[in-house]
Amino acid sequence: MAVKIAFYESPDPTGDGVKHFHARAVERETIRMDRLSHFVTHRCTVSESDILAVLTALSDVMVDAFLEGHRVYLRGLGYFDITLTNDEIRSLKEGNVRKVHFKSVKFVPEASLRKRLERGMKFVRASSTIPFSNRLTEEEINEKLAGYFASHPFITRMEMQKLCGFKRSMALACINRLIDEGRLRNMGTRRTPVYVPVEGAFPLPDSKAGE
């Protein structure tokens, strides 16, 4: 097992023109609860359905704990805790619980988990089809999609990430923009989207059309 990584150009906030690159995990997927249950059942004598039931109940119990303001500790993993935000308050007199809102849940891994990952994690370079920078112009994106659709009838969000070297959020933003422009259509479902090009939306450049 190894984590596939690619190198991306880092932002240049100082403007000194010196390029720096950082590593990022790529070509990965989200392991959902049903698959976790399947994996766990091969490491114990509990049935897959029972494991799924326990994980579902655990999720509900954690929500109850968060609603009471507690944090949750799972041995071997770490701490889960809520974070809050609030509307602008300029004095303690303005402090009102109605101005406080839930923000997110943060996770802090415990030391044993960090050590296991540090000792066991290995890395390999991802395929060369993943570019080293996610700073692509609209023209470059169009050219990549034109070449892709020349041999593929549709594209997924994950394939868009691989094709353009985007993060998940950037790939989704690009897809949504192309949908708004009327150049892509979702022919799948909301949970499993599959995007197809509108006819004529991504023509190949003349230099490649004749190849």
pLDDT tens-place string over residues 153-163: 999 999 998 89
Chain-centre distance of CA 114, in angstroms?
21
Higher pLDDT: 150 or 127? It is 150
By the 8 A CB rule, do 130 and 6 touch? yes
Would the pLDDT of 204 be above 80? no
Residue 73: per-residue pLDDT: 98
The token pair at 141 is: 């994106």
Q: Which of 9-13, 28-32, 40-44, 69-73 has the lowest mean pLDDT?
A: 9-13
What is the mean pLDDT of the segment spanning 159-172? 87
* Edge-first strand listing for the sheet containing 100-109: 72-74, 78-86, 100-109
Q: At what angle do helices 33-41 and 48-67 cross, to 10 degrees?
A: 130
- Domains, the chain: 138-209 (1.10.10.10)
In angstroms, the Cα distances linking 8 to 26, 40, 158 are: 11, 35, 17
Q: How far apart are the first and last CA of the chain?
A: 39
Which residue, among 170, 178, 168, 159, has the nearest Cα to 136 in the 3D structure? Answer: 170
Asked which of 20-34, 53-67, 102-116 is least confident by mean pLDDT, the reply is 20-34
Does the structure show a pLDDT above 60 at 59? yes
pLDDT band at 129 (very low <50, low <70, confident <90, very high): very low
pTM of the shown model: 0.59
What does residue 18 show for φ and ψ, rounded to 5 degrees?
-85, 125
